[in-house]
Structure 1
Amino acid sequence: MPIDTNKQPIIVKKVFKHAGHHGGAWKIAFADFATAMMAFFMLLWILGSTTKEQKAAISKYFNNPSAFDGVATSPSQAVGEGTGSKPSIIDFEGAVDMGPESQSMQTPDQIDEMAEELDRERLESLRKVLEEALNKSQTLAPYKDQLLIDIMPEGLRIQIVDKENRTMFDLGSAQLKDYTKEILKELGSIINEVPNRISITGHTDARPLSGNYSNWELSTERANAARRALIEGGMREDRVARIVGFASTVPFDKNDPNNPINRRISIIVMNKKADEAIQSEPSTPIQTLIEH
C-alpha cells in the first residue's frame, strides 16, 4: 500500500511553567509580616508610655470585663425553694485574677488595694441583692421591718431583731420560731454566694433570767442556733469564723435596755481586714467587731 507523503506528523509539546521568583504570593506574606510587626511596635510604644496604674486598670479589664455578671434581678426567684441545685445569685469567683501571673505584674500594695476594692464591690452587691429580696421574697418580705442591713467598717451587717408580738425565739429559750428558721435558711442560701466568712453574735435585753442560766449563755446559744439554720439553708459550714454572745452589753436601744429590739441576731459578712483580725487573734474577742 503506498505511503501518503502529503500528511505531516502531529507533534504534541508539553510546556511546564515555573512560578519561581516571578509569582506574587511572597508579597502577600511580606505584607502580613509587616502589618504584624507594626502592631507589635505600636504595642511596645503604648506599654512604654502608660503608667503603672493604667496598666493595672487595663489588666483588670481584660481579666474580667464584667466582674459582676450573674446578679439576679429577683433574689427570691434565683434562690428558689427546697434543697435542690440552685442557680447562682452572685458570681464573684474569679472577678479579679489574683493568681501568680497576675500578681507578678502588680506591687504588693496594688494587690492589696485591688483585693479591698473587690471586697467593697462584692459586699455592696450582696447588700443590693438582700434589699431586693426583702421586697420580693415570699419568705423575707413579711419580716422586712425586722431585718436591718447596713455596711459597717468590718463588712456587711444583717440584723434580725425582735418585735413585741413577733419574737425570733421563745422567751428565755434558744429554740427558733419556725418563721425565724425559714428567714435564716433563705439568708444562708444568699450569703453562701460570696466567699467571705461571717461572724454571728447573739444579743438579749436586760431582763434577768432565773437560776444559774444567764443572758450570756442564752445569747451564745441563740447565735449558735442561728448558725445551724443558716447551714440548713445551704451556707457552707466553713463560712462561719466566729460565734459570740454579748448578752445585754451592746443594746440596740441604749435608752431602753428592755426594749424588744435589743433581742437580736447580728450576722456580719466580714471583709478581708476583719477576717484577718480574727485569724491573727483567734482566742481573743476583737472589740472592733462589736456593733456600734
Structure 2
Amino acid sequence: MSNKRKRRRIKKVDTPDKSGRWLITYSDLITLLLVFFIVMFSMSTIENQRFNALVSSLRSSFQGDSILEGMGYPGTDKSQKTPDIPIVKEKKPPTEDEKKQDARQLDALYVQLSKYINESHLNSDVSLVETPRGVQMTFREQILFDLSSADLKPNAAPVLKKIGGILSEVPNEISIEGHTDNTPYRGSRSYIHSNWELSGVRAQRVMNFLIKNDKLNPARFHFVGYGEYRPVVKNDTPEHKAMNRRVNIVVIREEKTN
C-alpha cells in the first residue's frame, strides 16, 4: 500500500499544471485591443485635423462665418482682419440713353484711332473696324512680335502707349485676343508648348503693357488666346499665314440684354 501511494504522489508532482495558460492568451488579446484602440484614436485625430483644415478653407473662401455658424460651427476671432476682396456686382442692363451715349463715345473713339493710324502710317500693320461687338483694332504680328516670340518689340512700345492714351478716354471693357497660324510652335520658351499658349501669352503681354504704362483700370480687361483655331483666311500661303498671326484689341460695346 505504501508503494502505491508513493507512486501516485510522484505522478502528481511530475504532471504540470495547465490551468494558468489562458492568462497568456488573455493578456495577448488585451494587448492587441490596446494597440487597436491606439491606432483608431490616431486615425480619428488625423481626420479631425483634416476636417478642421477643410472648415478653415471654407471659412476663408466665403469670407465670413455666417454660413459655417448656421451649420453649427464656431466663427473665427472677429478681431482678426480678413483681406478685402472686391465683390463684382451684377451689371444692370444699359438704358436707351446709355446705349446712345456709348455709341457716340465709340464713334469718337473710332475717329481718334483712325486719325492716329493714318497719321502714323500704320495702315499696313494695323487695321480698324467697327462691328456690332465694338471697335476692333487688328495688329499684324510683325509690328508687335518676332516670329514665334512672345516678347514685345521695342518699336511696339510707343504705338501701344499712344493707343492706350486714346483708350483711357472711354470706360468700356477691353478684350485682348491673340491668334496664330497653323504652323506648329517651335520657339525656345520653356513655358510655351503650343500655338494656343503662344497666342495667350502674347495677348497677356499686350494687356499688361496697357495696364502698366497707360495706367488703365485692370478691371476693364480680359485676354484670351485662340491659337490657330480662328483664322481670317486659309493657311495655304505664307502671306495668308502672316495675316492669321495677329492680336486684336476690341473695345466692347455696351451689350444689349433682354
**Distance in 2 (alpha carbons) for counterparts of 1:204 and 1:272:** 28
| RMSD of aligned alpha carbons | 2.6
- Per the alignment, residue 242 of structure 2 pairs with 260
Change (3 A) 1:146 1:167: closer
| 1:120 is aligned to 2:99 | no
Q: CA deviation at 1:135?
A: 2.7
Q: Does 1 or 2 have the higher relative contact order (CA < 8 Å, sep 6+)?
A: 2
Q: CA deviation at 1:152?
A: 1.0
- Per the alignment, residue 143 of structure 1 pairs with 122
**Distance in 2 (alpha carbons) for counterparts of 1:203 and 1:191:** 22
Give 3-state SS (helix, strand or coil) of 2:214's partner. Answer: coil
Change (3 A) 1:121 1:167: closer
Change (3 A) 1:124 1:173: same
| 1:200 is aligned to 2:176 | yes
Q: Quick one: which amino acid aligns to residue 176 of structure 1?
A: L
- Per the alignment, residue 244 of structure 1 pairs with 224
Q: CA deviation at 1:229?
A: 1.8
Any idea what the Cα deviations from partners look like across 1:41-77, whole Å, max 9, x if unmatched? xxxxxxxxxxxxxxxxxxxxxxxxxxxxxxxxxxxxx
**Distance in 1 (alpha carbons) for counterparts of 2:186 and 2:117:** 37
Q: Quick one: which amino acid aligns to residue 188 of structure 1?
A: G
**Distance in 1 (alpha carbons) for counterparts of 2:109 and 2:99:** 15
TM-score, length-scaled by structure 2: 0.57
For this pair of structures, how many residues does the alignment match? 161
Structure that is richer in helix per residue: 2
Q: Quick one: which amino acid aligns to residue 128 of structure 1?
A: V
| 1:157 is aligned to 2:136 | yes
8 Å CA contact retained: 2:176, 2:222: yes
Aligned runs of 1:198-237 on 2, under 5 Å? 198-210=174-186, 213-237=193-217
Percent identity for Structure 1 against Structure 2: 33
Q: Which runs of 4+ in 1 moved over 4 A?
A: none
Any idea what the Cα deviations from partners look like across 1:122-163, whole Å, max 9, x if unmatched? 101100011111233xxxx1422211111111111111113x
Give 3-state SS (helix, strand or coil) of 2:208's partner. Answer: helix
